[in-house]
Structure 1
Amino acid sequence: MPSSAGHPHVVICKWSEPLVRCMLDLTPHVFLILDHFDTTFMNPDRELLTQVERVYEIKDFDSLEEMAAVATDLVVRGVAVDHIVSFTEFSQFGAGYLGVLLGLADDPLWHVSFRDKRLMKERVRRAGVPTADWVTLADPSRADDVAAVRDRLAFPIVVKPVAGSGTIGAVRVDHPDELRSVLEGIAPDPHLKSHQLTAEEFVAGSELHVDALWHDGRPLYLLISTYYRPRLALLDPDAAPGPDGTPEDGSYLITEDEAPELYRRVTKLHHEVNSALGITHGATHLELFERPDGELVFSEIASRMAGGWIGAVISEYLGYEIHTAIARATVTGRIPEPRPSKPCLGALHLRPPRAGRIAAIPTVEDMLAVDGVLRAQRLRGVGDRVERTNPSEWCAFVVLGADSREEYEALARRVAGELRTEVEPLG
């Protein structure tokens, strides 16, 4: 089954109905890998599954044996795979390993550099991109590993899993004397196989996220957004809400017309990061800080579309679904011209003010009924527990749009006040 320029062979890792449908519109040669979570909880459309060329059901993308078996089956069937599309964090290692086995990657550590923050920062720093100082903490029970952190880093620092995501498991440590007790209190993330940690300098300033889609090293779109508050700041129990009603959680898109110099600097930095990590194709989600003096500091990058509310905001910017853009870029190298639904776009996460059991949360209908809300998604319901142990404990999202920056800011404050997730104490 040789590949052809008109109908490339594409492997999709994990279930996404819109992505599968979009890809099938462009090529009949779609191969789908579903893990246990997909088949158990995501309810894949069985009729749609019959339209793909082959479905592989595995237990775990981190299983070398299972990924090697998929690669072998593709090879013995004569399938020349052109593209592997992995759009979730937990399929990245398996998808990268599959690419190495199928000869799509020359560097066996290429895919590792998108998940292990130590290798990522090492390669980016060698390219001359400013990054936070960091130290590996492979075994937090070893006194010499802990001593190296105290000796080499200026506090405050952030301790995080080497292959974590969404700030899950990240902890700020303000003083060297607190380090040992903090490390002893860290509970390993059950989703991660490795319990190795990294410690890095805490970077003060505003936190930006940059979402792009690449083909042959050029961005088909590149969008800069700023979080209302840095992600780690959301864990501060003493942080007070903004006096003007500024939302706590979410981000908004900065247009190039508003900040042309920022776009120039960020685009330059992004190309340097891409060069260091070998990124030429696909969706990326880059996070960086802008220090008070204006210096841009690289934080991390994911070789996938962003999670949370960000994909929905990008879809509103494009004027069509982000999955269409990813499929078109993969197969044709082009995407339709963006047609933003509103000049100013952003989103809020309706995060409760404290931990507890949800007593009230807006329905999707409630959210969409508010003028200025373009999209809404509810992920929790009344009675669900919210621990507030990490910023990515999602409850409900609203995507907002307005005709000017002033109107958007007023809209965000109004929506944050009207649409709230309320909790009662955990009994």
Structure 2
Amino acid sequence: MRYLVLNRTPLTSGLRFPDWIGADDEAVLLTDTAAVSTDPRERTAQLAGYAHVEFFDDFHFNPLVESQALAMHRKWGFDRVLALSEFDILRAARLREIFGVPGQDVASATAFRDKLDMKRILSEAGVPLARYAPVSNLADLLGFVEGNGYPVVVKPRRGGGSMDVHVLRDEQDIDSLLAAHRDLGTDDGAQLIAEQYIEHELLHVDGIVLDGEIKLIWASTQGDSTCLDIKQGNALHSCLMDPDDPLLAPAQELTRRALAALPTPDTSMFHAEVFLTEDGRMVFNEVASRMGGGMIEDVLKLGFGVFLPEVYVRNLSGHEPLDVPAAPLRIAGLSLFPPRPGTLVRIPGECPVPGITEYRTYAEPGAELEPAKLSVEKIGSVLATGGSRAEVETALSDALTWFERNTVIQGRGGPDSAS
């Protein structure tokens, strides 16, 4: 069989499509140029095993990706299309339908990518949601604010990574939104959705469906951090829940209800978000049919001993399925340290905090930093493991304190400041 692989993320040593597919089949790669190393040795290792590779600049907005895929299909014929990124789910589905090959179709991909379509389906199924409405123009937005009051969350219907998410608390915030979205004043309108803002603790539920059966479904908590906080320069952390956590089963059940209501593919990874309200209720936010980002895949690998993208691709390739534990072998967590505006003066090279299994840096002294635009942007990160959530969260907290004490960012027009 011949597999078309669409890729936009760095081809690290752990992302090995040819190995997962197997030597008896072919993998053809269409990749973002920036996803491949410029170092000749690393580049050779990253591209080893592919039958053919094509590179594309500006991969996200480049329609030549699909055009080239179609031309190659006419020449060689593809049997499957693989894509792991949130922003390639619909692109891959369109190609499958053109090629006439199995896999997630456009209707399913749209239900998971378009937050308005998703919430309509979930609402009809009785899944508890925050109040919501489409926003195409200013009148739509003002009507929603009048009916629900402030604060209101406005975001793209097909966004990701907390990109372009706005929390409106007053008329000044509405003016800021209008400045950012001039499409609100056009006849075609904006592709936005407004939602009631809910004070919450964010739980995310991650897992995988294999041959129509949920093999892994486990919840993590972000505690007192949120995806929006990192855009304000505050660290984001997440930790797997303990097996005896009373919130685990309700979060799993709510996610099962959502997956049952949606056109979930027979084989699919998923990443769901659940709001735990201040009065203890659970309100479903959204779910994607892909692996969670922001190093969630690393946490699951540490906790469960398997790399879900590998499990997913191997299953689609018809290989002997990997054993996926139903509960974590150990508790694991992550913390992301975001940039702040200014010049990076100092960043530590090694982390001595007990319980930290891996520390990574993503910037070097002298770098000019800007505020994070995505919830996964970072200049440093840590992974931690332990026997319980409390133990892991202590290690993450200690690592944050250590990082802030040892990282210096010189603010623009001001004194040096710790990150």
- How high is the TM-score relative to the length of structure 1? 0.81
Q: What aligned pairs does 1:172-191 form with structure 2 within 5 A after superposition?
A: 172-175=167-170, 177-186=171-180
Q: Distance in 1 between matches of 2:38 and 2:163?
A: 22
- Deviations for 1:131-159, whole angstroms, at most 9, x for unmatched residues? 221222224xxx42333333343321111
- Counterpart selection for 1:170 from 165, 170, 187: 165
Instruction: Tell me which residue corresponds to 1:269.
Output: 254
> Which structure 1 residue ranges, 5 or more long, are not aligned?
4-8, 189-193, 242-247
The answer to whether the 8 A contact 1:61-1:95 is kept is no
The answer to whether the 8 A contact 1:19-1:323 is kept is no
Q: Distance in 2 between matches of 1:26 and 1:118?
A: 42
Say how many residue pairs are matched.
395
Q: 1:155 to 1:93 in 2, by over 3 A?
A: same
In the alignment, does 2:309 pair up with 1:311? no
Q: 1:202 to 1:341 in 2, by over 3 A?
A: closer
Shift of 1:340: 9.0
Q: 1:414 to 1:66 in 2, by over 3 A?
A: closer
The answer to whether the 8 A contact 2:93-2:104 is kept is no
- How high is the TM-score relative to the length of structure 2? 0.82
Q: Distance in 2 between matches of 1:105 and 1:320?
A: 23
Shift of 1:206: 0.8
Shift of 1:323: 4.0
Instruction: Tell me which residue corresponds to 2:417.
Output: none
Q: Distance in 1 between matches of 2:263 and 2:74?
A: 25
In the alignment, does 2:391 pair up with 1:398? no
Q: Specify the SS of the correspondent of 1:109.
A: helix
> Which structure 2 residue ranges, 5 or more long, are not aligned?
183-188, 414-419
Instruction: Tell me which residue corresponds to 1:244.
Output: none
Shift of 1:375: 1.8
Q: 1:287 to 1:324 in 2, by over 3 A?
A: same
Letter in 2 for 1:77: W
Q: What aligned pairs does 1:114-133 form with structure 2 within 5 A after superposition?
A: 114-133=112-131
Q: 1:63 to 1:99 in 2, by over 3 A?
A: farther
Q: Distance in 2 between matches of 1:230 and 1:153?
A: 23
Q: Distance in 1 between matches of 2:329 and 2:401?
A: 22
Q: What aligned pairs does 1:13-162 form with structure 2 within 5 A after superposition?
A: 13-14=6-7, 16-17=11-12, 18-25=15-22, 27-38=24-35, 45-46=43-44, 49=47, 51-59=49-57, 60=59, 62-64=61-63, 66-81=65-80, 84-103=81-100, 104=102, 108-139=106-137, 143-162=138-157
**Identity value in percent:** 22
Shift of 1:12: 2.0
Q: Distance in 2 between matches of 1:341 and 1:278?
A: 28
Q: 1:333 to 1:297 in 2, by over 3 A?
A: farther
Letter in 2 for 1:221: L
Q: Distance in 2 between matches of 1:115 and 1:195?
A: 16
Q: Distance in 2 between matches of 1:119 and 1:77?
A: 35
Q: 1:184 to 1:13 in 2, by over 3 A?
A: same
Shift of 1:252: 0.6
- Counterpart selection for 1:216 from 195, 211, 214: 211
Q: What aligned pairs does 1:288-367 form with structure 2 within 5 A after superposition?
A: 288-331=274-317, 332=319, 334-338=321-325, 343-351=330-338, 354-363=340-349, 366-367=350-351
Q: 1:282 to 1:10 in 2, by over 3 A?
A: farther
- Deviations for 1:306-351, whole angstroms, at most 9, x for unmatched residues? 2112111111113244443333333337223449997321111123
Q: Distance in 2 between matches of 1:299 and 1:67?
A: 31
Instruction: Please say which of residues 410-419 and 65-74 is displaced more in the overlay.
Output: 65-74
The answer to whether the 8 A contact 2:269-2:291 is kept is yes
Q: Distance in 2 between matches of 1:413 and 1:162?
A: 34
Q: Distance in 2 between matches of 1:169 and 1:46?
A: 36
Q: 1:362 to 1:31 in 2, by over 3 A?
A: same
In the alignment, does 2:359 pair up with 1:372? no
Q: Specify the SS of the correspondent of 2:343.
A: strand
- Deviations for 1:5-56, whole angstroms, at most 9, x for unmatched residues? xxxx433210635232432446523222213433587987346646323334
Shift of 1:201: 0.9
The answer to whether the 8 A contact 2:66-2:91 is kept is yes
The answer to whether the 8 A contact 1:350-1:397 is kept is yes
Q: 1:375 to 1:80 in 2, by over 3 A?
A: same
Shift of 1:179: 4.7
Instruction: Tell me which residue corresponds to 1:254.
Output: 241
- Deviations for 1:47-98, whole angstroms, at most 9, x for unmatched residues? 66463233344453555554144135325534433xx321123322321211
Q: Distance in 2 between matches of 1:253 and 1:386?
A: 30
Q: Distance in 2 between matches of 1:205 and 1:162?
A: 21
Instruction: Tell me which residue corresponds to 2:4.
Output: 11
Instruction: Please say which of residues 277-286 and 323-332 is displaced more in the overlay.
Output: 323-332
Q: Specify the SS of the correspondent of 1:45.
A: helix
Q: Distance in 2 between matches of 1:341 and 1:327?
A: 21
Q: Distance in 1 between matches of 2:320 and 2:132?
A: 37
Q: Distance in 2 between matches of 1:373 and 1:340?
A: 21
Letter in 2 for 1:91: D
Letter in 2 for 1:328: R
Q: 1:62 to 1:406 in 2, by over 3 A?
A: closer
Q: Specify the SS of the correspondent of 1:136.
A: strand
Q: Distance in 2 between matches of 1:268 and 1:339?
A: 15
Instruction: Tell me which residue corresponds to 1:6.
Output: none
The answer to whether the 8 A contact 1:220-1:334 is kept is no
Q: Specify the SS of the correspondent of 1:110.
A: helix
Q: Specify the SS of the correspondent of 1:90.
A: helix
Q: 1:69 to 1:407 in 2, by over 3 A?
A: closer
Q: Distance in 2 between matches of 1:407 and 1:92?
A: 37
The answer to whether the 8 A contact 2:215-2:324 is kept is no
Q: Distance in 1 between matches of 2:142 and 2:129?
A: 22
The answer to whether the 8 A contact 1:131-1:298 is kept is yes
- Counterpart selection for 1:415 from 399, 404, 407: 399
